[in-house]
Amino acid sequence: MDENTAIVRARDFLKRHGVTDIPIDVMTLAAAEGFQVLHKDLPDGESGSTVERRGQRYIWINANEPTQRQRFTVLHEIAHHVLKLPSVHGQAPSADDAQLLSSRRRPVEEVACDAFASECLVPYSVLKPCIDDRAFTVTAVQDLSVRFDASQHCVASQWIKASEDALAFVVANDRRIQVAFPSRTAKEAGLRIANGRMLPTGSAADQLVRASATDGPSSELDASEWSLADAAAHYMAYEEATNYVPKQRTYSFVTFEAVGNAPRVAVHAARDDDDDLLAPLTGELSWKPKR
Amino acid sequence: MELSGFLAAMREREELSLRGLKERAADLDHAYIYRLEKGDRTSPSVDVRQKLAQALRLSEREAQVLELLAEQSVDDALYRLMLTDLRTPWEDMRDAARLSFRGERPTTEEAWMKRIQMIQDL
């Protein structure tokens, strides 16, 4: 199952349960699907698990993790059930495999369940009006994170999917880029950011790590500092960032702005595995978000 | 542990060649057994599983493990527990094997025993 199918199924799922308010009530959804959610003291790194015992389904959630992550985990586990995508049993991945799985090469079942959970927590139809004409900044992401009760990572990823601007959300660990999510417009403009590279020197995220600071000044660099693609020569990259100091993990919120005569974007010119995005929606709310 | 590895290990324990196993399970094609051991074939029928259990002289617990492995693979540490800890009811072991995880998962016998305890507490 691809991500788009999972997203469509998530929208159907919310509709079927008559979900009309944000933040989404994940516990009610779990109960409606026949799950009993139990918060447990699980080991570090284990977000949760699902077990069926004598006909009753249980979701164990790691009570030590942030509540927003717990909410995501509940929906991820529900997704396995709703999408009928069983987890892979057996041996845990080796250290090398885990390295691979930490990037985009995760099992397709897990990627689909994450997409389902993200769409449930931050539904497109509610998010889209919130981001139209709004800059992709730390403050904006933090604000939406509170409103949706979803992690900044989840909000930023959904923002990237919904936006029509040239944006990128970049996650780096200890200044090395772990994964970069370009928006559709950024991809179509050829503005790709390679995983595994070091953050640009002088970028906001780079400065935060060097100063062991949580937040700080923004940066404005030539886009070519971020992307080696030829197209980057025609753009500037405005960036704001946050840093989770204990792990030196940074989130960069990057906006690309054309400088001078940037080549016209060739719509649908370049395709890759991430390009099968959903058909544009009307953006009309099917319900009123809770204020 | 996969079904293929389990069958190979049990046949080795019995010091049987493929042909020797075929002699104990007359209806089974030794080429089919070979493919099961290589993992080229999975999910043998109930009839085949019963014949294999008989031919390999599996204990009750080992036969239960065979049934489970015909459905899914099992973490090695949990597999060892299944075969050595006969005091823990099979139902608890089976439910533990069917756990699905987000993030890390148990990889030691001690960690699995904690998880089985949690299942028993439900």
ipTM score of complex = 0.83
Owning domain of residue A86: 3-121
All structural domains of chain B with their residue ranges: 1-73, 74-121
Give the domain-ending residue among A121, A138, A169.
A121
Joined tokens for residue B28 = 């089974």
- With CB atoms and an 8 Å threshold, state whether A90 touches B73: yes
* For residue A98, pLDDT beyond 70: no
Looking at the structure, do residues A96 and A34 belong to the same domain, yes or no?
yes
Distance from CA of A54 to the nearest CA of B (A): 9
What is this structure's pTM? 0.81
CB atoms within 10 A of CB B8: 16
Name the residue in chain A with its Cα closest to that of B74.
Answer: A90
How far is B111 from chain A, CA to nearest CA, in Å? 9
Count of the separate structural domains present in chain A? 2
Does any domain span residue A263? no
A217-226, A239-248, B40-49: range with lowest mean pLDDT: B40-49
Q: Is A277 among the domain residues? A: no
Average pLDDT over residues A137-149: 97
A221 shares a domain with A116: no
Could you tell me which chain B residue has the CA closest to the CA of A48? Answer: B102
Q: Are A238 and A220 in contact (CB under 8 A)?
A: yes
- Whether the CB of A97 is below 8 Å from some CB of chain B: the reply is no
Average pLDDT over residues A81-89: 80
Residue of chain A whose alpha carbon sits nearest to that of B120: A53
Q: What fold is seen in the domain B1-73?
A: 434 Repressor (Amino-terminal Domain) (1.10.260)
Residue A291 distance to chain B (closest CA, Å): 32
Contact A51 B99 (CB under 8 A): yes
Q: A144-188 pLDDT, tens per residue?
A: 999 999 999 999 999 999 999 999 999 999 999 999 999 999 999
